Amino acid sequence: MSIRFARAWARAAMAVVVVLIAAAPVRAAEEPIEIFDAHLHYNWEPKPFYDVDQVLALFKKHRVTGILATSRPNDGTHALMDARASGKAGGLWVVPFLRPYRVRPDIQTWFNDPTIFDLIQDEYKRGYYRGLGEFHLSGKAADTEWVKKAVNFAVAHDLYLHAHADDEAVEILMRHNPRARIIWAHTGFGLSSVRVATMLATYPQLWGELSYRSGITGEGGRLTLEWRGLFEKYPDRFLLGSDTWISERWASYGAIMAEYRGWLKQLPPDVAKQIAHGNARRLFAEKK
C-alpha cells in the first residue's frame, strides 16, 4: 500500500468515526441517586417554614421520591396526606407516622402522660398511619406503663416505632415487646460503631436512621473504614433522613441531601441504592 493511499484511507476512516459520533444520541447527565427521607418533620407551630407547594417543589428539586412524614402536632402530616390524595404530590410517596406530641413540652413528659395514649388511639382512627413517632426517650424513661402500652399498641396494629433513644432505651422498648419494629433515629448519635453493630446483631427488627450520625465520614468527606464496614455488613439495615425539626434544616435541605450523596457514591452501587431508598421502600411497601 502506498503512503498516499494509506493516508487517504486513514482520513476516510476518521471521517466515518466523526459522522458516527455526531449521529449518536447525546446521553443525558446522570441523575443523582433517588433518596427516601426517612426522618421528616413538617411541624405546624403555628405554621410550617414552607407551605405545601414549596415543600413538594423542594423534594422534587432534590430528587427525594419518598418521605416518612411526621409533624407536631399531626396537622402537617394531614396536609401532606391530603396533597397525596389529591394528586398534588405527584409521584411522591408519603408514609405517615403518628407523633405522640401536641406541643413541644410533650417531649419531656409524654412517657408518663395517659392523655398521650388517648391521643395515639384517637389519631390512629384516621386509618392511614404506618408508624408511631418520632418520640424521645432516654434510659429508664422508657420503662413506664404508658410507653409499654404504646409499644404494645404499635405491635398490635402493625406499626413501626420511630425512636429517638439511647441504646438503653432501645433495649427497654424491645423488652416491652420483642415483636416491636424500631427505626432508630440518629443510630445513637455518637455511639461507637462497635456498639451499633452489636445492637443490629442482637435485634433483627432494628433499623438505623442516619441523620446527625457522627463518624460516618472523615477528612474530605471520605467514608471511614468502620462505617464502610457496617454498611457493607448490614446494607439492609440503614435509612437516610433530614430531621427537619427546625427552620434551618429546611433552609439547608439541599446540602443535607448532597452530603448523603457524597458518601453514598463511595459505596458499591447496590449497597448505596439499598441505603438511599431501597430499604425504606421494602419496609414501608403498601399493604395489599
Q: How far apart are CA 275 and CA 234, in angstroms?
A: 10
Using the predicted structure, report yes or no on whether residue 11 has a pLDDT greater than 70: no
Q: Which residues contact 18 (CB under 8 A, 6 or more apart)?
A: none
Task: Read off the pLDDT band of 45 (50, 70, 90).
Answer: confident
Q: How far apart are CA 257 and CA 59, in angstroms?
A: 10
For 71, the grid coordinates are 409533624
Task: Tell me the domain boundaries of the chain.
Answer: 29-283
Least Cα distance to 120 among 181, 179, 50, 73 occurs for 73
pLDDT in tens, 147-206: 999 999 999 999 999 999 999 999 999 999 999 999 999 999 999 999 999 999 999 999
Q: Which CATH fold would you assign to the domain 29-283? A: TIM Barrel (3.20.20)
Is pTM beyond 0.85? Reply is yes
pLDDT in tens, 160-172: 999 999 999 999 9
Using the predicted structure, report yes or no on whether residue 94 has a pLDDT greater than 80: yes
Using the predicted structure, report yes or no on whether residue 288 has a pLDDT greater than 70: no
